[in-house]
Structure 1
Amino acid sequence: MNYKKSSGLNQATSKFWVGVTASGKSFPRTKNSRLLAFTLFFITLFSLTTFLQPVSAVRADDGLAANSPARVANTDGDGVRFREAPDTGSATITIIRENELVMIKGGQTKDSEGHSFYKVEYQGKTGYAMSDYLIFAGKAAPGVKAIPTGSPAKIVNTDGDGVNLRQQASSGSSVLAVLTENTVVTSLGGPFTDKQNNSFFRVDFKGTSGYVSIAYVGSAPADAVTSGGGGNLKVTNTDGDPVRFRSGPGKTFDQVGLVYEGQVVKALSSAVKDDDGDKWFRIETNGKVGYVSSLYVANTSDAVGKAPAAPAKAPAAPAKAPAAPAKTQAPAPTKIPAQVQSAPSNGSLGSNIVAFAKKYLGWRYVWGGKSPSAGGFDCSGFVYWVLTQNGVSAGSSAAGDLSIGSPVSLSNLQPGDVLVWSNTYMPGPSHVGIYIGGGQFIHAENASTGVTITSVNSPYYASRFTAARRP
């Protein structure tokens, strides 16, 4: 029997009709039956859209899915606060460092100020981290040994055909380049697995990052020169301060050693970008290999030479703490006027504050630490301890320290003045230190540096300077 579906307006009765008959004849419908038909139609439509959707992980607004890994990024090396609740006023469990991995456990939740948080799992604990500082990290491939980030790797097993460098960790992703056999690249993490269980390493090739199948990536000697690398670099733009070179391309990596103004080193790679887009060169000097920020080196035809003696102005820190760090991530700022660097003493109080603060040079960075009994200090805790031990009231946060004493202009800085910076690991006032004279300040910087001394003119801090206060 041949059924037809019919609908339309019956011209004889002016009633809207709909029906299915063997002959194609329609059934007339009253107002009530029309209402019933529309109701049934929308119920059916809702059922189809609700229950026939493909099953997938619950995804957050920007694409991060529950039970997928995410990487901490965009924190300028300071890390992100791991909180007990999705609120900027909630207690901090710990600081999760730049580039570390977390597991997404729930979608975004906004606090009363509009800040978005993910529920995440980190080192066996569950808490919340701001979504601005988390990016998708890919699915980790089981049973495959990783090549450390920053290490050289070699293209192998291609039978001379080469292998595709892809835009994403997927066999269907677009091809950025074809890497020939024995090409040396820089590992940027992985392995990661796509939906078809194909695994990839993320690598850098001449400044372009992409993904290569793990079947065609092998290890390479630590001093191997990557494609686009070679030649020599001269250390420059340091204002006489020592510059760190690190085990990987990013300031969260451990310090390998120091280089100094005018020193010539061997370049082992072209510039490699970190997750913030800042560039680093892999170098070799005095038998050590590591990464130095591109802000502090330039190409040179000069021969590689031994490291010069450390500048006299560089403070001597205890062996347990690194010297002042090199900073990246920010455009070169306007220099602070020269008179700031030779400002007179701020009386006995300023001198006492500086002398007391220097006693803790080299102490560990401990989140929430505000006295020696904690084994170390965070930035505001260090300022709090130093000032209160010298009879000055201080806040317990960078924002709170904005109310210390009276405001001071940059041209009038004196030893003992409190300096405040904004937009470091979080929006708004977020870091504090104490000016010690000579264009330098002392502060509890982060877990990598502890209590250290840094130039006020360093690009990272000068571009984020907010205020100075005189106790």
Structure 2
Amino acid sequence: MKKWTAHVAGLAATLMLSSVLPAPAFAESSPVQPTAETQTVTETTGTAYLKEDAALLQTADSTTVIQQLPAGTTFKTLGTDGDFTRVSWQEGTAYVATNALTQTAPVFQKQATLMSKSSLSLVASPFDPTVVTTLPAYQRIDTYGTFDTFTRLKWNEQYVYVSTTQLEQLPKLVGTRYAKRATSLFVEPKTTSAKTAVTQNQSFETFGTTGTFTRVATKTGYAFVLTTDLADTQVVSHPETGVRYVQQQTTVYATATTKGEVVQSLPVNTSLQTYGVEGSFTRIKRNDEYAYVLTAHLGTLKYYPKTARLYVQRATPIYSAPNASGSIIDQQKTNTLLTIYGKSGVYSRIIFRGVHAYVKTADLGSEKVYAATGTRYAKRNLSVYTSASTKSKMMYSVKRADKLTIYGTSGSYTRLKKGTVYGYVKTSDLVTKKPDLYDVTGQRYVTEDDVVIRSQAKLSGKKIGTLKKGKSITIYGKSGYFTRVKYNNIFGFVDSSRIGLNKPKAKAKKGTTFYVHLDQTPLFSADVAYSRPAAYLKKGTKLIGLKSIDDDFWQVRLVSGQTGYVLNPYISTSKPDMKLTQKAINRTKIYTVKQTTSFFSSPTSPKGSGLVEQGKRVYPRHRVGNFYVIQSGWTPVYLPVSAVTITSDKRVIKKNNTRGEKLIQAAVQHIGTPYTWGSQNAVNGGFDCSGLIHYATNKAGKYGGRTNVRGYWYGAFFTNRRTSISSGKRSDIVFFQNTYTDGPSHIGIMLDSEHFIHAGGSQLQINSIYEPRWQEHFLGFKSM
């Protein structure tokens, strides 16, 4: 059978692919030794073929089967022996039944067409491992039956064999697809295999996929194309329509819809060759395949963000490039408004006649150039704005009476210049003559006698005059804790706490009818609260005034005829609203008046009885309906709840459980209660300054008998005396002197290094040690 090797070249000419796999292994029977008879050299008598599968016997009279042979096996015959024919076999002889032989080579009918799974090794016989030739993988193979584990194939008009396991059914046709782009056809489903060229829109019958490849038909079998290189329809070619630049980061879609597959994202200024538009999209190419981006995201020039709108300050050239050697395109006139798209060195980028161009940045400014038109004076302190509108940004300020050079007007505004930048002020705020140094800000009344006017807004300022209680004064703004006033045509300063919006009222006369405005109003048997009250009066109780005792007490007579002493902050000449009940308020909060507001003598009063200034802190004692009960001097009045803003006061929040914190908390609980001469207990309706200290220290666990301020200063109850005003700290006891009598005369509790809580003025309140009325009397600190 080795003569068949001469036909290999003929088969190779019919193949499309060339991959070669190893020849299959053959399971051979142990060789049978030829008989002595077969070893005798006998003359060949002819050629015969098995017309069917038959057994090869060792002798003519033996039943010993050497092996089964397939139909078509060719023999050299050596004569006959009865019903058997002697044949040449493997360098010896054997026997085959004569009726199984034929003189004509058999012809087998085609059974099926299969596909080679891999490279095929063809052998002449299932028992002869000699490889006749090889066939590539993925070829269509006509088969002509099987024998044992082999399949019969036809090779150059001869039959050969291959292991059946190397064949499989033909894949099913899926459909026709087209090459999206010029690509490659691979002999195996891997890009490292042999390949041939494929042109765009070349059509293929497809037979399923293998990994990332699609199997396609060839003339003799199958090959492979990358699935991503195929499309269901032919690709339509579009002509180039120009280059565009990405103006903002944008998405590339596989189809002209934002619901399509996202291909990639492109950064700003990516250059794209375009191929027309489709709806709101522009067509581009990506890997020889069309894709789409939103047309709105593209522009004819590279994208530079707008950075400014500037005016040409002087006639300046327009350059084609950001350097002096660039050609000059044109000239820009003074005051031309340019849109700037960033800078390049000393040049600013603009768009001129559809292309990027450049002008010198030094020739540009934020405003037009204007000529000076005169001078004016600021009527008051003014804000200068970036444009002719108070809604624009404030640039800087000018002071009252400043002399200003002006550069024309814009509507109701006048233009100023600072450096090279223009600003705007209201024309009505400028005058031709230099005005007085300060503007009038209101009218006030002096609330105490002998209020000192100083030359500066500080205690060390020279005394230039005094004002009497009740005098009406014009004020010219504030400076710290001082208010500016005019005295003998010169400006000076007074302590702001000694003037107010309300003119001091004369004391009520003997016989005036009063009404109690708060429940649990204490009635004392003397004009001092050293002991508990003799009784408590209900809201609405009618009283007849017998005698005014200083500012805080009135001696009164009840309807029953009983007499006693009542605190002024609990009574008023107006009747209270008996339908409204008093409710407790949170005394630890800060209550601030939103804007200057009227207060009323009762909740039903039709007309306000006085004013509370904007920003002033008030100390409500209770809430009655929609009003807070506060004190105006020594009188209870009603302030609308809606006029007040409530905020937290971090200074009064308890920080830990030390004795100092307990001291503070004991005082905080009674903020807003009236000043009550001689009282050391809340049941008396209030405290005096040393009574508050006695009460709070006992609540804090530091027990001791009450003494006056002098006793606390010179005694040993408190220690660590310090006289530097900057040395105070939280929970220290602060002392003042010469307030109403010589020597130590007032006392309080520090909340931090500046603020203290105390029973002072007309009620228990919080003040700063740097307010003039307290700083000028500061004595020192002591500690618990």
**TM tier, shorter chain?**
0.3 to 0.5
Q: Which one has the bigger helix percentage?
A: 1
Q: Which of 1 and 2 has higher RCO (CA within 8 Å, sep 6+)?
A: 1
Instruction: Tell me the TM-score normalised to structure 1 length.
Output: 0.33
Q: Which one has the bigger strand percentage?
A: 2
Which is greater in Rg?
Answer: 2
